[in-house]
Every structure is written in C-alpha cells, then in structure tokens.
Amino acid sequence: MSAPPSASLYVGDLQADVTEGMLFDIFNPVGPVASIRVCRDTLTRRSLGYAYVNFHNAQDAERALDTLNNTMINGRVCRIMWSQRDPSIRRSGVGNIFIKNLDPTITHKELYDTFSAFGNILSCKVQMDEKGVSKGFGFVHFESQESAEAAIKQVNSMLVGQKEVYVAKFLPKKERLMQKGNSWSNVYVKDLDTAITESQLTEFFEKHGKTTSVAIMKGPDGVSKGFGFVCFEKHDEAAKAVEALHNTVLGTKKIWCGPAQKKSEREQELKTKFRVLKLEQMTKYSGINLYIKNLEDEVNEERLKKEFSAFGNIKSARIMIDDKVNSKGFGFVCYTTPEEAQRAISEMNSRILQGCTKPLYVALHEPKEVRRHKLIQRHNSRNQMRAGPVPTPSSVYPAATQPVFYGSVPTAYYYPNQVVPRGRGTWTSHPASSHYPAPTSAPASVYPGQPPAQPAARGGRGQGVPMGAGGVAPNGRGGNNRRSKRNPGQGQSEKGPDPQAGAYDLTVDLLQQLPPEQQKMHLGERLYPLIHKSQPSLAGKITGMLLDSGWSNDELLALIKDEDKLFPKIQEAVDVLASANVLPPAEGAQ
C-alpha cells in the first residue's frame, strides 16, 4: 500500500459515551498521539459516533490501523480507516461498491477479509441499526476502480456466510432516485371501500395496462384493511394509471394512488418534509413571536391581545390551556415585524397588569433545540465552576514536547523526563512536569469528620498530626506524645526524613473515605521517607512510579509496613530508570 498522505485516522461506529480520554488510553500505547477529536452535534453536543485520531508520524498511524481496526471499544466493534481530507474522492464513487443480502453474522472484519484479496481497501462498512445489528448490506471502497470491478465480477452471486450476496457499483442517492423514477411499476392504492374485491380492483386498473399481480391487504378476520397494491408489467403503464385514477371514485369512496415505497423510504420522505416544514416555521416566525409567562387566570386571550396591541399589529395571540381548559400560565403573541416585537419586549417585560400580582416575563420565543442547548451550556458551566478549571484540549492532547495531562493523577505526581507507569507492572518513558515532592509534614486534609491539622505551635507541638476526639491522634496516642512534640525540622537528617515522624495508623478503610488524590497523598507521605533511605536522589521519582503502578491500596500499604517487600520494588524501579537513561550522573542501582 502506498504511503498515506497524513498520520490521521478516522474511527467510526463508536458508542455515544466514548470520550477523547478513552480513545487516548487506547491509541497512545501504539505511538505518541498528537490530538483526538470526537465529533459532536453543534447544538446538543452529543457524540455523532465517530472521531479523528492524529498521530505524530504515519508509521504509528498505520500500526494503529493494523492492530486496532475491528476491535471492541466500550462494547462495540470500531471501524478504523485513513482520514480522507479530500471529500471529492469520497463523493466521486470511484472504486466504491455496494453489497446487499449479507448474512446477519457478517461484520466489518469478515467483509474486509472477503474483499481485501482484490486490492487496497480505503474503507469497509456493514450498515448497522441503533442496536448494533446488521441491516443486511454494506459498502467497500477500493483504492482503484480496477479492484472494484474485479470484486464485482468475482463475488457477485457468491455465497458469503450462509447467503448469496449481490455486489454492484455503488450509486449516489441522486442517481438511484433517477433510476427508480423511471423504473417503478408497483402502485399503492389506499382509501379503498372495504366491499371492493381484488377482481374489481384488477378490472378497474387494467384499463391502463396489463397487471402482473393485484393484492388487497386483509386482517385476520378476512376483512379488507382499505389498501392494496397493483403491479404492472411496464413503468409507463403504471405511471399512466396513477395519473388517471388518483382521486377518482371506486365503489363508494375516492381512492388515493401513488408509487409503492418501502417503509424506510416513506420514513425518510416524512422526515425530510418535517425538517423543511420546521425550518420554514422557524424562519417565518423568527424575531416576531413572543413568549409570555406568569399569566394569571384572569388574563384570557382577548385581554392578552388588547394589552399587547399598543405596540403593533398582532397576527395571533394564544394562551396555552390544559385538559380542563385552565390556563397554563403562559402564551404567545405574534407580531408582523421584529421592530414591533422588540418594542413590546422593552415595554411589557416585568410589567404587572392591572388586577394581577405577578410581573410578566416577555421574551422572543426560541425553538426547543436552542433552549435545550442553552440549558446544557448553563449546566456545564455550573459544573465547571464547582469543579474548578478544566484542562483545555491542547493541555490534554498536546504536541510531544508538552506535558501530557492524565485526569486521574494529581499535579503533584507528574515526573520530568522519567518513567511513568503505563498499566500494572509496566513502566515506559514519558515527559511530565514535576516529581513527587518530599513531604514536610502530615497532610493538612484529614479524614472525614475530623478537624484540619493545626500548624505547629511554639515548641513544635502538633506537627500537623490529625487529632481525633478528645485530642487523641489516629495512632491511639495522646496529642502530647513524644513524636508530636518534635519541631518541624526535627525527624529529618542528612539521610532523609524520619519515616515515623507524625505517624498515624493508615488503613484501607480510612483511605476509602478520601478522594483518590488524597489517598495518593497519604500513601506518598509514607512511601517517600522509606525510599529516601536507600535512594535519596531518586526518592521522588520512585515514589511517583509506585503510586501510579496500578497496585491497589492494600498492596501499597503492605510495602509501607514491610520494607523487605519494598526493597525489591525500589531495585526494580532503579533498573528501569537506568535503562531509560534518566538516572543522575553519579547514581545507579545499588
């Protein structure tokens, strides 16, 4: 295959809840990822089911395509292909074929394996429904038209899975509609008199051409459902019958005639008509339709129109009512010009009508999708204010020279130019911002329900040890025990801090009551001085590596309590650092 023009991949068939972070965790192990973007609806911000993953070099992108295509992402098989920047190649139809009558068990992978023998494939897809079930047809886009023609010749009418498939050149929708417009011969007839029989319907339609079949749909009781189908031999005869017999009387009722359509075609046509109608309504009433709420029961439509007629010519005024014909407290007033509507807003908003107690709320009416989008934005902004600043996409997926953000690791545990754990027991080299800092005192944030640690008083009492009820520290000793009387500077020597300075019993149950960041902080406070004994200059790096190694709190606590178990892990970390060439010049494995 020729070298791809870029290092960008298209990832399709994604679940709606797949995020950029999830994709980063999947693709970054293959090679450094430059950026990831999940495409979303501009109004609702819901995922459209596909994303773009950009690598720093094409070799990594090609390896990701080979190893990750047709793998599971969050419970659904993904579909990966090269991102095609030039839309004309996709729209030209060159090398694109259509396959139908596919066995339901055939997936993207089986389809790819079947057709890859004929040439390089740019994209391969089995069409799925909302539940991820095959619709029985798919598409394969080859790099060349010759490959596509060879595939059509060899695979058409061949058994794939348990079914004989139909393979042909893919036709754009416009061409299909044009072909169908000149080829349909089946007529749909509705509003039939239930007394009309199939023989009568045949006689009625055969005046305009020869029919091949006539059927009236009937219920379980054998009674006509009021509609049926008449199939002619030729398209011209069917078209002539529809033109002549539409809205004519058969029996006691006027019938409706038209080309027969599949259910999917009818639904698509209705959706298109609905979208056009909705767009026309939005355009027609944009800027002139007012929404008024806080209307009291005394205000009826006549009074509403009278109160607002002072500002311009009113086309309509309506108050919404419930099933019991009681006012819902809101309504609409439509003017003829936007200027009249704006004048009414400025004059009537917050005004209290005579005999009423509530001030009116008057504003331009907004479509439902626009209101929903604004509510989502407002909700997201409130969450961001509560959670603090959120990293921008450039800080999450930056260039190779920038530090990479990991949402589950607090800033205190980033490491500069050293190894970072990538999954349980596996460490790889990665740049970051700072290593685990040397602890100076016990954490300021204590366990739930306990007051924060007080700063050391004159004479060094307190040492930041969290105190329980009655002035008893969590280690069971009183707050005035010997260790708590040390000055902050005491408990540390040239060899590092005393691992027991300010100590208190740390258990899994206590850790589970804390946020993940504080759990790491407490564990780090215990690990650092123990590591500092044997590796003073590497203590911060190794502490961070252990905290992010994927080990559970139980395992980390076991290392803290048993230095015989901890020392082999320290030695292993030093070996990894040495192989990554990030050791200080004069230090190596001891």
Q: Is the pLDDT of residue 283 over 80?
A: no
Instruction: Name the residue with higher pLDDT: 128 or 281.
Output: 128
Would you call 273 helix, strand, or coil by DSSP?
A: helix
Do residues 172 and 93 lie in contact, with contact meaning Cβ atoms separated by under 8 Å?
yes
Instruction: Name the residue with higher pLDDT: 3 or 211.
Output: 211
Would you call 124 helix, strand, or coil by DSSP?
A: strand
What pLDDT does 76 receive? 84
Which of 78-82, 231-235, 378-382, 552-556 is predicted with the least confidence, judged by mean pLDDT? 378-382
Q: What does DSSP say about strands 496-497 and 492-493: parallel, antiparallel, or unpaired?
A: antiparallel
What pLDDT does 401 receive? 36
Do residues 529 and 562 lie in contact, with contact meaning Cβ atoms separated by under 8 Å?
no
Q: How confident is the model at residue 301 (pLDDT cuts 50, 70, 90)?
A: very high
Q: How confident is the model at residue 440 (pLDDT cuts 50, 70, 90)?
A: very low
What pLDDT does 471 receive? 39
What pLDDT does 262 receive? 81
What pLDDT does 391 receive? 45
What pLDDT does 91 receive? 66
Q: Is the pLDDT of residue 179 over 50?
A: yes
Mean pLDDT for 555-571 is 84
CB atoms < 10 A from the CB of 104, how many? 13
Domains of the chain: 8-177 (3.30.70.330), 185-259 (3.30.70.330), 286-364 (3.30.70.330), 411-450+496-579 (1.10.1900.10)
Rounded Cα distance, 45 and 529, in Å? 47
What is the average pLDDT value for the chain, to the nearest integer?
76
Instruction: Name the residue with higher pLDDT: 233 or 426.
Output: 233
Amino acid letter, residue 439: P
% of the chain at pLDDT higher than 70: 73
What pLDDT does 389 receive? 53
Could you say which DSSP state residue 485 is in?
A: G
Amino acid letter, residue 96: N
Q: Is the pLDDT of residue 479 over 50?
A: no
Which of 109-118, 136-145, 148-157, 568-577 is predicted with the least confidence, judged by mean pLDDT? 568-577
% of the chain at pLDDT higher than 90: 25
Which of 41-55, 79-93, 267-281, 414-428 is predicted with the least confidence, judged by mean pLDDT? 414-428
Instruction: Name the residue with higher pLDDT: 283 or 30.
Output: 30
What pLDDT does 190 receive? 94
Q: How confident is the model at residue 459 (pLDDT cuts 50, 70, 90)?
A: very low
CB atoms < 10 A from the CB of 289, how many? 19
CB atoms < 10 A from the CB of 340, how many? 19
> Which residue(s) pair with 527 in the sheet?
none
Could you say which DSSP state residue 529 is in?
A: H
What pLDDT does 228 receive? 93
Do residues 78 and 72 lie in contact, with contact meaning Cβ atoms separated by under 8 Å?
yes
Which of 53-57, 73-77, 408-412, 576-580 is predicted with the least confidence, judged by mean pLDDT? 408-412
Which of 26-35, 297-306, 399-408 is predicted with the least confidence, judged by mean pLDDT? 399-408
Rounded Cα distance, 362 and 294, in Å? 9
Instruction: Name the residue with higher pLDDT: 93 or 256.
Output: 256
Do residues 562 and 548 lie in contact, with contact meaning Cβ atoms separated by under 8 Å?
no
Residue 281, both tokens: 């309504």
What pLDDT does 158 receive? 87
What pLDDT does 196 receive? 92
What pLDDT does 244 receive? 92
Q: How confident is the model at residue 437 (pLDDT cuts 50, 70, 90)?
A: low
Q: Is the pLDDT of residue 180 over 50?
A: yes
pLDDT digit string, tens, across residues 309-334? 999 999 999 999 998 889 999 999 99
Closest CA to 479 of 489, 490, 469: 469
Rounded Cα distance, 510 and 446, in Å? 10
Q: How confident is the model at residue 566 (pLDDT cuts 50, 70, 90)?
A: confident
Please count the CA atoms within 13 angstroms of the CA of 419 that sit on its side-chain side: 26
Which of 389-403, 512-526, 573-587 is predicted with the least confidence, judged by mean pLDDT? 389-403
What pLDDT does 387 receive? 60
- From the number of C-beta atoms within 10 Å of its C-beta (0-12, 13-18, 19+), residue 252 rates as exposed
pLDDT digit string, tens, across residues 328-383? 999 999 999 999 999 999 999 999 998 888 899 999 988 777 777 777 777 777 77
Q: What is the 3-state secondary structure (H, E, C) of 211-249?
A: EEEEEEEECCCCCEEEEEEEEECCHHHHHHHHHHHCCCE
What pLDDT does 415 receive? 37
Task: Tally the residues of the chain.
Answer: 590
Instruction: Name the residue with higher pLDDT: 403 or 362.
Output: 362
> Angle at which helices 553-561 and 563-579 pack, to 10 degrees?
110
What pLDDT does 430 receive? 41
Which of 253-257, 406-410, 518-522, 567-571 is predicted with the least confidence, judged by mean pLDDT? 406-410
Mean pLDDT for 415-420 is 39
* Range among 179-183, 439-443, 489-493, 577-581 with highest mean pLDDT value: 577-581
pLDDT digit string, tens, across residues 63-80? 998 899 888 898 888 888
Mean pLDDT for 47-74 is 90
What pLDDT does 447 receive? 40
Tokens 């590796």 found at: 535
What pLDDT does 520 receive? 80
Amino acid letter, residue 213: S
